Amino acid sequence: MSRRRRSVMSEDLKYELAKDLGFYETVEREGWGAIRAKDAGNMVKRAIELAEQAAARKS
Residue 54 falls inside a structural domain = yes
Q: Is residue 19 domain-resident?
A: yes
Instruction: Confirm whether 5 is domain-assigned.
Output: no
**Per-residue pLDDT at 57:** 92
- In-domain check, residue 4: no
Residue-number span of the structural domain to which 15 is assigned: 11-58
Domain count, the chain: 1
Q: The pTM is what?
A: 0.81
Q: Which residues contact 38 (CB under 8 A, 6 or more apart)?
A: none
Whether residue 20 is contained in a domain is answered as yes
> In angstroms, rounded to a whole number, what is the distance separating the alpha carbons of residues 36 and 23?
9
Dump pLDDT digits (tens) for 3-57. 667 778 899 999 999 999 999 999 999 999 999 999 999 999 999 999 999 999 9
